[in-house]
Amino acid sequence: MRACAARIAGIGFWTGGLSGWPAARAFAAGGALADDAPRRPSPRLLPPNERRRAPESVAVALEVALAACEAAGRDPKSLPSVFASGHGDFAITDYMCGTLASEPRAISPTRFHNSVHNAAAGYWTIGTGCMMTATAISAGRATFAEGLLEALVQLDDGAGAVLLVAYDTTAVGPLATMTGSRGLLGGALVLASADDRADAGPWLHATLVDATAPAATGPLASLRHDNAMAPMLPLFDALAARDRLVLLDAGPGRALRVEIDHA
């Protein structure tokens, strides 16, 4: 595979104790978690009632997506998007399976429509009024790398800029015995092509290679290693520390080699 390139025009980040990319960068540089950080995001994109009812997966996805767009100075309506989540919303999936097994007529319509894997993408496009393409991707531990690759391919195919959003939640019930995941984690990137007007931010050059991604050891990866979306954290650690190379898990025996030019 030939290298795909993009400029990072904006970054969004959220996890427990780090409610934003500036806080995440400060933590990666040796800072501490915020004692008064909110338990979950409260996405401004949704009206108050919807904000309270939205599942955690949707809340964190919308929070980081909007933050990345604001950091990039982009109108969310103008961006095609890629939403990457290994498992969607564990709690709702557990509720759906349990209710269908015990009392199927009691299924909540609200939880039912939130159970689909692309629920966050749907909330995003409705909340922003965006009519651009929205893609939802799930690929286990390779989800973030595959989502990044999809966004880069869209740029290579002519898109001026693409929003990438990645997130996962805490696993509950029987699902937790199959896939361990704790805490709430979300990250977003607005990626711009070489022809786009973006004039700031690091460049990424990514190539799919035959390799195995090493165990992550950075501050953010160590903090949230137990979330299903932890494979995205080596890239965010590299961006925070201005490192120049990272390998992302892209599946068995495959890695996405990402070279970063911070100049």
| Interval 59-71: pLDDT, tens | 999 999 999 999 9
pLDDT of residue 1: 59
**Distance, C-alpha 218 to centroid of its chain:** 18
Q: Please, which pLDDT band fits residue 2 given cuts at 50, 70 and 90?
A: low
State what percent of residues in the chain have pLDDT above 90: 67
Tokens standing for 200?
């700031």
User: Given a cut of 90, is residue 115 above it in pLDDT?
Assistant: no
State the distance between the two ends of the chain, measured CA to CA, in whole angstroms: 25
Question: What is the model's pLDDT at position 239?
Answer: 97
The model's confidence at residue 24, banded by pLDDT at 50, 70 and 90, is: very high
* 186-208: average pLDDT: 89
Model confidence band, residue 146 (pLDDT cutoffs 50, 70, 90): very high
User: What is the mean predicted confidence (pLDDT) over 247-251?
Assistant: 96
For residue 26, pLDDT over 90 is answered with: yes
Express each pLDDT in 71-104 by its tens digit. Answer: 999 999 999 999 999 988 888 887 788 888 888 8
**More confident site: 133 or 198:** 133
**Average pLDDT score, the chain:** 91
242-262 average pLDDT score: 96
Tell me the three-class secondary structure of the chain, residue by residue.
Answer: CCCEEEEEEEEEEEECCECCHHHHHHHHCCCCCCCCCCCCCCCCCCCHHHHHHCCHHHHHHHHHHHHHHHHHCCCHHHCCEEEECCCCCHHHHHHHHHHHHHCHHHCCHHHHHHCCCCHHHHHHHHHHCCCCCEEEECCHHHHHHHHHHHHHHHHHCCCCEEEEEEEECCCCCCHHHHCCCCCCEEEEEEEECCCCCCCCCCEEEEEEEECCCCCCCCHHHHHCCCCCCHHHHHHHHHHHHCCCEEEEECCCCEEEEEEEECC
